[in-house]
């Protein structure tokens, strides 16, 4: 299933994509696509619905973030060996963990704001993992049963804030609009192997990233298990699992960063595409 949220900011309604690509309204069955709707029992109820009988959403509504009321937005850094190399950093022995604030979350096609004074705003296409069943100290062999599904994430990052301004990475990762999520939450039964997904990102039509989740250092099951040692994972949490090579910071001979008036377009096999315009904050 491809679940989504549509409508104006703050007024999103739950929906599902039918086989012809039409949005169908789920409001009569769930209040939102959030933690309460993402456990296996809830998803099974949705799966048993006659999708063709649900109301069609007419027109072209705004698509919101595919998960509402996100509790934690957890990210993994340097999780592709080639990206670590382009960042001039060693391959980590354990997952590098940081946060994006939930106030960064926007829809997949919403504008991305370049922060005031920013010099080094960058892009990162990433596989997002949405937790459906909470837990702590989760065994790796059981980890995938805690996953509701997957989505596209653009881990927008301000490199000066992240690296040069002191403190943790979080400062450069959590600015408003730095977390486009969606368009769809694709349930795990539709993703045969999350470690075999092609992913790409373009800026103004030029392709910078062209990778595959097969080159992750730490796979999805390991990440879910690892994180659960340090925090309880809860339904509706989103984990962004790292980016392949091709970020602006790594462009040679001179880094390339975003400015207002540009267009980012990105996608992951089977999970849909995003497109954002950059504007000044």
**22 and 110 assigned to the same domain:** no
Instruction: Specify the pTM.
Output: 0.96
**Dihedral (CA of 138, 191, 273, 31) sign:** negative
48 and 77 share one domain: no
The domain containing residue 113 runs over which residues? 73-280
Question: Residue 141 has what pLDDT?
Answer: 98
**Closest to 199 (Cα-Cα) out of 159, 236, 247, 158:** 247
Looking at the 3D structure of the chain, how many domains does it have?
2
Residue 56's pLDDT band, with cuts at 50, 70 and 90, is very high
Residues 42 and 109 in one domain: no
Q: Do 39 and 97 have their domain in common? A: no
User: What is the reported pLDDT for 36?
Assistant: 95
Let me know whether 158 and 272 are in one domain: yes
Q: Are strands 112-114 and 272-280 parallel, antiparallel or unpaired?
A: parallel
The CA distance from 184 to 191, in Å, is 13
Enumerate residues 6+ apart whose C-beta is below 8 A from 20.
Answer: none
Identify whether 255 is part of a domain.
yes
- Same domain as 117, residue 163: yes
Same domain, residue pair 162 and 231: yes
Mark whether 162 and 265 lie in a shared domain.
yes
| Predicted pLDDT at 169 | 87
**What is the number of other CB atoms lying within 10 angstroms of the CB of residue 79?**
26
Query: For residue 225, what pLDDT is reported?
Result: 98
Ramachandran assignment for 242, one of left (phi > 0), alpha (psi -120 to 50 degrees), beta (any other): left
pLDDT of 233 strictly over 90 = yes
What is the Cα–Cα distance from 43 to 39, expressed in whole angstroms? Answer: 6
CATH (domain of 154): 3.90.850.10
pLDDT in tens, 107-140: 999 999 999 999 999 999 999 999 999 999 999 9
How far apart (Å, rounded) are the C-alpha atoms in residues 61 and 182? Answer: 14
> What is the model's pLDDT at position 27?
97
What pLDDT shows up at residue 82? 78
């Amino acid at each position: 299933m491809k679940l989504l949220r549509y409508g104006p900011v703050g007024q999103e309604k739950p929906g599902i994509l039918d086989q012809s690509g039409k949005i169908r309204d789920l409001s009569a069955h769930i209040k939102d696509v959030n933690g309460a709707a993402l456990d296996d029992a809830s998803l099974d109820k949705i799966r048993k619905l006659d999708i063709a009988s649900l109301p069609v959403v007419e027109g072209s509504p705004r698509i919101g973030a595919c998960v509402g009321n996100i509790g934690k937005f957890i990210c993994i850094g340097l999780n592709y060996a080639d990206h670590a190399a382009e960042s001039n950093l060693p391959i980590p022995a354990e997952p590098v963990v940081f946060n994006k604030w939930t106030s960064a979350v926007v829809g997949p096609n919403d504008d991305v704001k370049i922060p005031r004074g920013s010099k080094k705003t960058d892009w990162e296409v990433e596989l997002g993992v949405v937790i459906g069943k909470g837990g702590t100290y989760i065994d790796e062999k059981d980890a995938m049963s805690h996953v509701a599904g997957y989505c596209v994430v653009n881990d927008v990052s301000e490199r000066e804030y992240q690296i040069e301004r002191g403190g943790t990475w979080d400062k450069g990762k959590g600015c408003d609009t730095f977390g486009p999520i969606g368009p769809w939450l694709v349930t795990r039964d539709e993703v045969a192997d999350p470690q075999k997904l092609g992913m790409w990102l373009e800026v103004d039509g030029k392709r910078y990233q062209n990778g595959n989740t097969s080159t992750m250092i730490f796979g999805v099951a390991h990440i879910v298990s690892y994180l659960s040692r340090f925090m309880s994972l809860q339904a509706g949490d989103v984990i962004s699992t790292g980016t392949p090579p091709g970020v602006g910071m790594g462009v040679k001979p001179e880094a390339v960063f975003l400015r207002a008036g540009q267009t980012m377009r990105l996608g992951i096999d089977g999970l849909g595409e995003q497109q954002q315009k950059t504007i000044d904050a």
